[in-house]
Structure formats: structure tokens, C-alpha cells
Structure 1
Amino acid sequence: MNGVRGLLGVAVCTGLAGCAAETGYADLEAYLDAARTQATVQLEPAPTLRPVPTLSYGASALRSPFQLPVGASVADRQGAAVPGMNDPARVREPLEGFDIEQLQMVGTLSGTAGSFVLLRGGGVVYRLRIGDYLGRDQGRIVAIGDSRVDVVEVVPDGAGAWLERSRTLALKTHS
């Protein structure tokens, strides 16, 4: 064990002696001396920060738009059912499988049988009249014009009731 300690002591002394020797750091020392003697760089002072005016929210005392008005309950809002809504006896029409944004109005037809609108959905052109359903939100055609068709959809209002929303499909030219 003494031999190992002696050998370790010789290795440590040799290593320390190598660190003390001058091994070519003259260029580094010259660079550091030049950097120390140069004039110090003056930095401009940091800009002063002007205070930002504080704003207070003025509508904090008002009712949240996501809450029911005082005195109204969800049961009161669900009282009136929208006609034709979720009627299990009504046969679903082919265009009720499409979103209304996927449908294009491509023309109209008028004759003794009445006015019809031509709508393209899924690469097929369908002939519909006032009262026909289309779209996934139970849209119902309420008016047909030469260049547009008016649709009323039934959508949930987020509070358990239903609202009617008007939509218009414009004639798609060059189709």
C-alpha cells in the first residue's frame, strides 16, 4: 500500500510541475494586458420608463353575457318549440346530410308547378322548393329568388333552448 501512495504522490507532483511551466501563453497575456489598458467604454444610461396609464374595466358591475338575465330560467326559454324540430315522423331529405356551406346554388326553375331552386351538393344537382329541408341544422327554405335562396336554420343557443337563424345561399355563377 505504501508503494501505491508513493507512486500517486510522484504523479501528483509531476502534474503540478507541468502546470507551473511557461507553455506558450504569452499571446494571451499580451491580449489581456492590452484589454486592461484600453479606455473603458461609457454606456449611455438606460432610458427612463414612463408610467403606463391604468385602465379600469367599466362593465364589471353589469351582468355577464354568459349568464341568464335576472328572473329568466332555462325552463322559461325552452317553452316554445320550433315547428318541425326533431319530428320523428318527418322523412329526412338527401341534402340534410350536408353542411350548408357545402351546398351551391346553381340556378332556379319557374313554371306552373311553382318556383324551384337548383342546389349542388356532393356533385349532384337537386331540385328543391319552399318548405324543403337542407343542411345539418334543420335548415328550411323560406324564399326563392332569381339569384338567392333564403334558409332558416334551427340552432342551439347554448343554454338548452333553440334559435332560428337566417342564412342566404347566393347563385354560383360559372358553375
Structure 2
Amino acid sequence: MKRLGLSLLGATFVVVGCGANIDELTQWMEQQKRAAKPNVEPIVAPKKFAPQPYSAITGVEPFSIQKIATGTRVDGGQSNPMLAAQMRRRKEPLEAYPLDAMKMVGMVSRQGRPYALVEVDKLLHYVKAGEYMGQNYGQITKIDETELSLRELVQDAAGEWIERTTTLQLQEKAR
């Protein structure tokens, strides 16, 4: 029993000793709360929006019907004699296909004249210089072992018809 009494007496001193430290601790925490000042930067006020007037309202509207019609006009070739000749002639069968649907798969010579083998829709066509192919009035100008050259008539951004040279490269089949 004596031992139990001594243990209780020791525990009481420990609790009483800690109680004194709790008051000091509470006072220190209150002091720190008063001393601590928050460091929050103020929010910057938003800038006032100043709308700008649309100054291109007097210009040509890019999506107007007149602008689109002018850009894609076919005036019967009156302003361009090359186009007039193209509009009058009869279309050839390979002019129904775009060039990216065609593949040059070979070249042969018949009676000393070069012919290109062009594959379209899994059909082979013999073509020679002077014939037309593609949807841009493309006329074949030269055929050699590795490529076929065309002269095409296309519209530029201003709607004017210009000549452009295009080539169709020889395509080898993957094995």
C-alpha cells in the first residue's frame, strides 16, 4: 500500500508541475497570436475595358457573295486566252480524276515515243506528252523514267488564272 501511495503522490506532483507549464504555454500562444500580422497583398483592381471601334467595316467583307463569286469566277476565258482554249476543247477521261488519285507506275517506249503508265481506280492508262489529265487542265509536257511533268492552270488568291508546273513521281509497289 505504501508503494501505491507513493506512486499516487509522484503522479500528483507530475500533473501539478505540468499544470503550471500549461498556463505559461497558453500565455505564450496568445502573445504570438497578437504579434503575428498576416502578410496578404491586396488584389489589384481590374483594368477598365476600352472597346475599340471596328475600322474595317468600310472594307470588303471577306465572306460576301460578291467576293466569293469573284474569286471563283470562270469568265469564259475572255480575260485569259489559255483558259478560253481549255474551256472550248473536249475533256479527256483522265481529267475526271484529281492528281492525288493517280499513280505513275511505269514508263514504256513505243516507236521511240515515251508513254507513261498511270494507274487510276486499279486500271492502267497509257498517256503521252500533249494529253490532258487531272482536274486543273493539266497537260503533259514531259515523260521520263522517273516522273511525268504537267502544266496546269489554277486560280491564285486574287482569282487570276496562272500556270503551274506539277510532277507525278514514279511509284514503286511495296513487296
TM-score range, shorter chain: 0.5 to 0.7
Q: What SS does the corresponding residue of 2:105 show, helix, strand or coil?
A: strand
Aligned mates of 2:126, 2:37 — CA distance in 1: 86
CA displacement, residues 66-96 of structure 1 (integer Å, 9 cap, x when unaligned): xxxxxxxxxxxx6441173111xx3322111
Q: Which residue of 1 aligns with 2:95?
A: 96
Identity score, percent: 29
Aligned mates of 2:168, 2:120 — CA distance in 1: 13
The two structures, once aligned, show a CA RMSD in angstroms of 2.9
Q: Are residue 82 (structure 1) and residue 79 (structure 2) matched?
A: no
Mind listing any 5+ residue stretches in structure 2 that lack a counterpart? Answer: 1-32, 44-77
CA change 1:45–1:145 in 2 (3 A) is: farther
Query: Could you state the TM-score of these two structures normalised by the residue count of structure 2?
Result: 0.52
CA change 1:80–1:91 in 2 (3 A) is: closer
Q: Which residue of 1 aligns with 2:71?
A: none
Q: What SS does the corresponding residue of 1:86 show, helix, strand or coil?
A: helix
Q: Report how many residues are paired.
A: 108
Q: How far did residue 111 of structure 1 move?
A: 2.5
The 5 A counterparts of 1:57-72 are none
Query: Could you state the TM-score of these two structures normalised by the residue count of structure 1?
Result: 0.52
Q: Which residue of 2 aligns with 1:167?
A: 166
- Structure of larger gyration radius: 2
CA change 1:41–1:148 in 2 (3 A) is: farther
Q: Are residue 114 (structure 1) and residue 79 (structure 2) matched?
A: no
Q: How far did residue 133 of structure 1 move?
A: 0.5
CA change 1:174–1:157 in 2 (3 A) is: same
